[in-house]
Amino acid sequence: PLEEASLVIRWPAEYHQDYHWLHPLPWTSSAVSPLAEGQELPRPSRARLPYPHVLSFVQMQDAWRLPGQYIVVLKKETRKPQTSRTATHLQARAAKHGYQTQILHVFVELFRGFIVKMSSDVLPLALKLPHVDYIEEDSYVFAQSIPWNLGRIVPILTDCNLSVDKGDLVEVYLLDTGVQSNHREIEGRVFVTEFENVPDEDGTRFHRQASKCDSHGTHMAGVVSGRDAGVAKGASVRSLRVLNCQGKGTVSGILIGLEFIQRTLATQPYSPLVVLLPLAGGYSRILNAACRLMVQMGVAIIAAAGNYKDDACLYSPAAEPEVITVGATNVEDQPASMGSLGTNFGRCVDVFAPGDDIIGASSDCSTCFTSQSGTSQAAAHVAGIAAMILNTNPGLSISELRQRLIHFSIKSLINEAWFPEDQRLLTPNRVAGLPPKLVADMGPLRSPDEELCSSLSKNGKQRGTRIEDNGGRKECVAHNRFGGQGVYGIARCCIWPKADCQINTLSEGSAVQSVSCTKDTHVLTGCSSHSPVGEFIGTIRPVLGSESGHDHCIGQAEATVHAFCCHVPSIECKTGIANEAAVMVACDAGWTLTGCNAQAHGNNALGAYSVDNTCVVISSPGSKGARAFVICCRKRLLENEQHSSNYK
């Protein structure tokens, strides 16, 4: 970390998501190695690709790559006719230099681009084409598999049961191996689509046995909606084959599969929809972008965190913030270990779920069952839970679905000592569970200008945060200070048309800083504070419904205090408070966390950060604890916002 530095987070207007960034990830491309039983996978290397200005993220080891096959991504403003034209121009230029190329697939809906087989020597020619944004080497992805599980996700003393009508309004698209659809556990619940895009199996003597080729997909379908061992027993599953008989697929195959789903929805729109990706590969910029686009279309994407006992942020699609990423636990509610491997962890994991020794449908026969383990199984559990939640509340946004998954998870069960020390703070300590009651409720606030802006310092040495308006674009700026060990900036962005929001600021000077929402029609949705010079001790708190009639923020002396005030019809907000050495305050179901602040007792607090709908405040060692202040807001759903039909 620099002695004096600031971290700026800029919000894309269409996102509603928390970002926990100390610095940008240093890589975005390529591959995964085969997952043979008992075999430890090679770790990502730090060697850079030949053209770092386009293939801007590190590659994995050679076994994870798909040499000679590239995904060419064009700029967003490229028109459809220009996509095919660019591919043709590339072939012509390569031919002039004596190189053969083969266009395998052209993308025009999911994104603008194409898949091409060519020599790496052609890359400089491809980079010079006018519409090319970047090029990513294709790579492999793999299935992540290595009856206590159903009992674990059902809450105690609840009227929620896994009855046959749960999830019947929801479709789950499963991108996996083949599926034995005539298995009694899933017969009539699984529709095998005509889609298939898989690489050849390794080894000339490999025999394609149905029991082997359909093993992983059949087990996944059974965990999601199986009659006996399934979570959402009423959900329907549509199977797309993207993994071969060895459980091996490619990034390009996943992309074509997502495009297939997109085209299907264009001809027959359906909601709610869940896409299950029980697989993982090396970090892929284009795969993450494609998943992000699907989420923006209203599709919930749930992915395996990976079985590499590593930071999930190094793998795709797990690393994409808009994807709901799932780690695995065992029967003891501890991180699942699989030989020398184990569940991935870190800030990119949203929730853990049962993933060790899971009983499900076996492809060996139509009545057989088997046990499998891995983050694939954990992701399938969460896909089933998501289907049951969406079955009751089909109008939920993906962010609202994520909030419910986190809110109804079981907290603080996992022994954090299992994780590396630098990952313990960032890894969520929660195991997914079903809500006590599956009933429709009120929807949380969504506003285009409402943000949460907070920060966390490793050693408490920071200068706070501030919200800035930079040319009409809101920015959350977190400040490190001399002697600091780095600062995390945490931001949240929401969408709500016709919101009128403004930032009110009061500069330092008085003994106690207080800045108000000056208009009676505005509601305080967030506070931030920073010290331009000197020490920031993390003292800032919101006050709603004061005697003056105006909501306001109170901060320490010698600091600049910022109040974020919004006017939206039917908005209502409330505050919450808690006191402990390590404080966690969650908004109730139906409320959105819009403010998260820390107030130290004596010594410094390390800061405050949000984990979806929960505010976490941590005190520095030896301190007297801290207080957490939260602001939670919501609006009531109108009757016409409820969907009476899944097809639109």
Catalytic residue annotation: 176, 216, 376
DSSP line for 246-282:
TSEEEHHHHHHHHHHHHHHHHHS-BSSEEEEE-EEEE
Positive or negative, the CA dihedral 225, 226, 227, 228 is negative
Of 187, 318, 164, 290, nearest in space to 233 by CA:
164
Q: Which DSSP string do the residues of 568-583 spell out, in sequence order? A: -TT-EEEEEEEEESEE
Residue 131 structure tokens: 């519409």
Alpha carbon distance 26, 33 (integer Å):
21
Q: How far is CA 281 from CA 35, 43, 45, 308, in A?
A: 11, 12, 14, 11
Burial class (CB in 10 A: 0-12, 13-18, 19+), 495: middle
Tell me the CA distances in angstroms from 476 to 131, 141, 299, 490, 526, one per residue in order: 32, 35, 28, 8, 12
Q: Closest by alpha carbon to 493, among 321, 272, 637?
A: 321
Half-sphere exposure of 285 toward its Cβ, with a 13 Å CA cutoff? 21
Strands 171-176 and 236-241: parallel
d(CA 103, CA 111): 16
- The whole-angstrom distance between residue 516's C-alpha and the CA centroid of its chain comes to 35
Torsion angle of the four alpha carbons 478, 479, 480, 486, in this order, in degrees rounded to the nearest 10:
10
Whole-number Å distance between alpha carbons of 601 and 292: 41
Lookup result for tokens 């590239």: 70
Dist. CA 391–CA 384, nearest whole Å: 10
Is residue 531 within 8 Å of 49, Cβ to Cβ?
A: no
As a whole number of angstroms, the distance between CA 125 and CA 97 comes to 10
CA neighbours closer than 13 Å in the CB half-sphere of residue 37 = 3
SS3 content of the chain, % helix, strand, coil (to 5): 20, 35, 45
Query: What's the rounded Cα separation, in Å, for the pair 229 and 221?
Result: 10
> Angle CA(463)–CA(467)–CA(472) in degrees, nearest 5?
150
Where do runs of H (alpha helix) occur along 492-543?
none
